C-alpha cells in the first residue's frame, strides 16, 4: 500500500507519546540569535537551528513525520500538554502570550490594567521558562492591527525586559500584522529588549525581504504566519464575497512564495505556516491545511517537500478547475431562484487513486471578523445538489435571494483531498433588480474634457478649502487650497491635482479637492472618469459623490458613492464602494469591492458607476466589479434618491491612506484626470 510507510511512522509516534513530568526528564535548552557572515541564525543548545514550523497544535505527529520541527501557539492555554507532547516528538514551541489588544477594548493609557497584565504574564513565564521544548516567547498577536496608542510598544518592551530577567535562556519576539514603516520605527525606538521581530503576511510573502530592507530592518526575523492569498487581498465579487483559491492554486503559491523569501533570506530564521489544522475564517477551507474531517490538502504535500526535500509517497489530488453553469468563480455568477444549473469539477490523482466527490452548499458567511477572531460556520443547505457522475452534477438555486457558496471536496481514500468553492448570488423573482434593463443617453449631458489651460472651469467646479472636521473626518494630513495653480490646474488636456510637502494652515502638505456642488448635481445616471493615479505610500486619490442637500441628515445617513479610491501602500488595487447609515465603514458593513488593475499609476484607466433607482453598479475598464441593489426598505439602506455631486481630490495620509505611514520622498505627486462625464438615465 502506497501510504504504509507514512501510517506506520504516525502509529509509532502515537505509541511513543506517554505523558511525563518534564522538570524531571529534561533540561533547559538555551536559545539565542547569532550573527553569521551574511545574516543571522538561531543557536539552540549550541547548534544552528532553522524553524520549520506550523501554527496550531493539532496533527503534531504529522508535522514531525513530514520534516517539521516546531509549533507556534497564540496563548499559553493548555501549555502543559502542548509542551510535553512537543518534547516527546522532538519539536520546539514558540509559546504565545495573550497580550490584550486595543481593537478588543484594552486601554494602554490605563496603567493599572497594564501592570495587572504584566503580573499575569510573570506567572506564565515562571511556570514554563525551564521547559526543554520551549524555543521562544511571542508577545501578543498583531498588536498593531487597528490600534492608535503607541504606548502598546512601551508595554511590549516592559514585558520583554521582564522575560529576560526571569528567563535568560529563550528568545523574545512580538508578532506584527504586515510590514509597516510606523511600527518598525516604533519598535526600533521603544523595544530594544526584543531579540527579533516576527511578521505575518500572506499574499506579500515573496516581497518580505525587500519590504524589510525598505523600512530599515536589517536584523533577524521570523515569519509566524503565512499562507494563501488572504481574503482581504483576493478578488471580490460585486456583492462583496472574496474569491478563494483552490487547494492546488494554494499549493503553487505556498511553494513559490516560500522559496522566494523564507527559503533564501539569510536574515530569516524560519517560519510557521498557517494553519496546521482547520478553522472557519470566511470559509471552512480558506486557511486550514486540513479539512474538518482531518484530510490533508495539497499544501501539506508542499510543506513535506519544503521541510524534508522529499515528496510524500502518496500525493493529494490536484484540482484543475471547478465550474458552475460552465463558469468560474471569477466570472461573478448570478443565478435565478429555483432554476437548475450544471456543476463540474476537473480533478486528477497523481497516484491513480479512485476519487470520491462530495458537494456542499453554504450560505455566504456573515459572521466576519478580523485578526483571526473566531467565526461561526455558515449554515449548510441540503437537497439542492444532485450528482450525475463522479465529477458532474447539478444544483438547484435556492429560492431565497442572497449570497451562497458551493464547495467541492475530492478525496482519494488515503486521507488526502482537493478542495475548491464558488461564491454565487441568487436573484429571486421578487428581487431581480440587478437584471432590470436601464438605458443612458448616448452622449454626455454634462462633462469636463479638460481641453483648456489654467484653473479648472469655475462654471463647473468649486473648492473645498482647509482641513475641516479634524482632517475631513479621516485625520488627513493635507490643507486643501482654493484655486491654486500649484495644486489644481488644467494643461495638456488633463486636470492635474498635485500634493506638495509644505506647511500651510497647520498642516504639512497641500493639495486640492474639486467639487461640482450646485454646478453639477444629479439624481441617477452613468458617471464616468478616466484617470491615472499617483504612486507612493501615503497618497489617497478619489473620485466620488456626496449628496447636495443631505436629505436624510449628515454622513453617513444621506449616503456616499465612491467611483474610485486608491491608497498608495496598496499599489495597483482600486476600490468602488457605497456608504449609508446601515452600510458604512464606520461599523464595517460598507458595500465595497476591489480589483487588481496593473499599471494604474503608469497609464489611464476608466472608472464608472451606473446609478439607477434599482441598483448601483461599478466598473473598471468596462468590467463590472461592484453591485448593490435597492432593498426597498428605508433611507438607512438606500438614500440614493436625491441629488449628488462630484468630488475629485488627492488626500495625504489619514485613517486609511496613511495606515502604513507617508513616504515624504515622493512629493510633489500628481493625480491626473483625462475627463469626467455624466450620461442621463433615460428610463
Strands, E assignment, 38-142:
40-44, 47-49, 51-55, 70-72, 92-97, 134-141
Active site residue 81: no
Q: Which residue from 511, 559, 522, 536 is spatially nearest to 440, judged by alpha carbons?
A: 522
| CA gap 71, 89 in Å, rounded | 11
How would you class 24 by CB atoms within 10 Å of its CB: exposed for 0-12, middle for 13-18, buried for 19 or more?
A: exposed
Q: What is the 3-state secondary structure (H, E, C) of 586-639?
A: HHCCCEEEEEECCCCCCCCEEEEEEECCCEEEEEECCEEEEEEECCCCCCCCCC
| CA gap 274, 83 in Å, rounded | 19
| CA gap 533, 633 in Å, rounded | 37
Residue 646 has, within 13 A of its CA and on its CB side, a CA count of 25
The answer to whether 567 and 657 are in contact (CB under 8 A) is: yes
| Grid coordinates belonging to 121 | 504574564
Measure CA of the first residue to CA of the last residue in the chain; give whole Å. Answer: 68
Give the angle subtended at the CA of 485 by the CAs of 479 and 489, to the nearest 5°: 105
Catalytic residue among 183, 476, 565, 672: 565
Give DSSP secondary structure letters for 210-254: HHHHHTT--S-EEEEE--S--TTTS-B-TTSPBPPPPHHHHHHHH
Alpha-carbon distance values, 58 to 72, 131, 250, 540 (Å): 11, 20, 21, 43
CB atoms within 10 A of CB 61: 19
Alpha-carbon distance values, 673 to 87, 491, 496 (Å): 62, 11, 7
Backbone phi, then psi, for 74, in 5-degree steps? -105, -10
* Beta-sheet pairing, 268-273 with 560-565: unpaired
Q: Report the greatest alpha carbon distance in the chain.
A: 85
- Looking at the DSSP bridge assignments, the partners of residue 41 are 34
- In the DSSP assignment, the letter for residue 654 is S
Active site residue 672: no
Catalytic residue among 244, 560, 637, 672: 560
Q: Is the dihedral of CA 328, 334, 335, 337 positive or negative?
A: positive
**Cis peptide bond prior to 668, omega within 30° of 0:** yes
| CA gap 343, 341 in Å, rounded | 7
Catalytic residues: 560, 565
Amino acid at each position: 500500500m502506497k501510504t504504509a510507510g507514512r501510517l506506520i511512522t504516525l502509529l509509532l509516534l502515537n505509541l511513543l507519546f506517554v505523558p511525563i513530568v518534564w522538570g524531571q526528564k529534561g533540561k533547559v535548552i538555551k536559545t539565542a540569535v547569532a550573527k553569521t557572515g551574511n545574516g543571522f541564525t538561531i543557536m539552540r543548545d549550541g547548534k544552528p537551528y532553522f524553524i520549520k514550523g506550523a501554527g496550531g497544535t493539532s496533527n503534531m505527529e504529522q508535522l514531525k513525520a513530514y520534516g517539521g520541527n516546531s509549533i507556534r501557539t497564540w496563548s499559553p492555554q493548555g501549555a502543559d500538554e502542548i509542551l510535553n507532547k512537543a518534547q516527546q516528538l522532538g519539536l520546539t514551541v514558540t509559546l504565545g502570550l495573550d497580550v490584550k489588544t486595543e481593537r478588543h477594548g484594552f486601554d494602554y493609557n490605563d496603567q493599572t490594567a497594564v501592570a495587572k497584565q504584566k503580573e499575569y504574564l510573570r506567572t506564565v513565564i515562571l511556570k514554563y521558562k525551564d521547559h526543554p521544548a520551549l524555543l521562544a516567547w511571542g508577545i501578543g498577536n498583531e498588536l498593531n492591527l487597528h490600534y492608535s496608542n503607541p504606548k502598546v510598544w512601551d508595554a511590549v518592551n516592559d514585558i520583554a525586559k521582564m522575560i529576560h530577567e526571569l528567563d535568560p535562556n529563550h528568545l523574545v519576539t512580538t508578532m506584527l500584522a504586515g510590514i509597516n514603516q510606523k511600527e518598525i520605527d516604533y519598535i526600533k525606538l521603544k523595544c530594544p529588549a526584543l531579540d527579533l521581530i516576527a511578521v505575518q503576511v500572506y499574499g506579500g510573502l515573496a516581497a518580505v525581504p525587500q519590504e524589510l530592507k525598505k523600512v530599515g530592518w536589517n536584523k533577524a526575523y521570523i515569519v509566524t504566519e503565512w499562507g494563501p492569498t488572504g481574503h482581504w487581498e483576493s478578488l471580490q465579487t460585486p456583492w462583496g464575497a472574496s474569491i478563494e483559491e483552490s487547494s492546488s492554486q494554494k499549493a503553487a503559491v505556498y511553494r513559490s512564495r516560500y522559496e522566494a523569501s523564507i527559503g533564501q533570506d539569510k536574515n530569516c530564521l524560519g517560519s510557521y505556516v498557517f494553519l496546521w489544522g482547520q478553522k472557519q475564517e470566511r470559509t471552512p477551507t480558506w486557511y486550514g491545511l486540513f479539512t474538518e474531517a482531518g484530510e490533508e490538502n495539497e499544501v501539506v504535500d508542499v510543506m513535506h517537500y519544503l521541510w524534508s526535500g522529499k515528496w510524500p509517497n502518496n500525493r493529494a489530488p490536484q484540482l484543475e478547475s471547478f465550474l458552475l453553469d460552465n463558469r468560474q468563480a471569477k466570472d461573478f455568477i448570478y443565478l435565478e431562484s429555483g432554476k437548475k444549473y450544471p456543476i463540474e469539477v476537473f480533478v486528477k490523482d497523481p497516484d491513480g487513486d479512485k476519487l470520491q466527490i462530495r458537494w456542499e452548499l453554504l450560505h455566504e458567511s456573515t459572521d466576519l471578523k478580523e485578526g483571526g477572531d473566531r467565526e461561526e460556520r455558515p449554515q449548510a443547505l441540503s437537497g439542492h445538489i444532485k450528482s450525475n457522475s463522479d465529477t458532474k452534477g447539478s444544483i438547484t438555486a435556492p429560492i431565497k435571494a442572497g449570497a451562497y457558496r458551493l464547495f467541492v471536496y475530492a478525496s482519494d481514500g488515503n486521507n488526502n483531498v482537493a478542495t475548491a468553492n464558488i461564491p454565487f448570488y441568487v436573484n429571486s423573482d421578487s428581487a431581480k433588480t440587478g437584471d432590470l434593463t436601464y438605458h443612458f443617453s448616448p452622449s454626455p449631458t454634462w462633462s469636463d474634457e479638460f481641453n483648456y489651460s489654467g484653473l479648472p472651469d469655475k462654471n463647473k467646479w468649486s473648492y473645498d478649502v482647509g482641513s475641516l472636521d479634524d482632517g475631513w473626518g479621516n485625520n488627513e494630513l493635507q490643507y486643501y487650497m482654493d484655486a491654486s495653480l500649484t495644486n489644481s490646474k488644467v494643461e495638456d488636456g488633463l486636470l492635474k491635482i498635485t500634493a506638495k510637502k509644505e506647511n500651510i494652515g497647520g498642516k504639512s502638505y497641500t493639495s486640492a479637492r474639486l467639487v461640482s456642488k450646485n454646478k453639477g448635481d444629479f439624481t441617477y445616471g452613468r458617471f464616468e472618469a478616466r484617470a491615472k493615479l499617483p504612486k507612493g505610500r501615503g497618497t489617497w486619490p478619489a473620485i466620488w459623490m456626496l449628496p447636495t442637500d443631505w436629505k436624510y441628515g449628515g454622513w453617513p445617513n444621506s449616503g456616499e458613492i465612491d467611483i474610485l479610491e486608491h491608497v498608495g501602500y496598496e499599489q495597483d488595487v482600486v476600490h468602488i464602494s457605497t456608504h449609508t447609515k446601515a452600510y458604512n465603514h464606520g461599523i464595517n458593513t460598507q458595500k465595497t469591492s476591489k480589483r487588481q488593475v496593473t499599471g494604474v499609476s503608469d497609464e489611464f484607466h476608466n472608472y464608472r458607476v451606473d446609478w439607477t433607482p434599482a441598483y448601483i453598479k461599478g466598473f473598471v475598464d468596462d468590467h463590472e466589479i461592484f453591485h448593490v441593489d435597492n432593498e426597498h426598505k428605508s433611507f438607512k439602506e438606500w438614500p440614493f434618491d436625491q441629488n449628488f455631486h462630484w468630488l475629485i481630490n488627492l488626500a495625504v495620509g489619514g485613517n486609511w491612506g496613511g495606515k502604513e505611514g507617508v513616504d515624504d520622498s515622493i512629493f510633489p505627486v500628481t493625480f491626473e484626470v483625462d475627463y469626467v462625464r455624466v450620461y442621463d438615465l433615460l428610463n
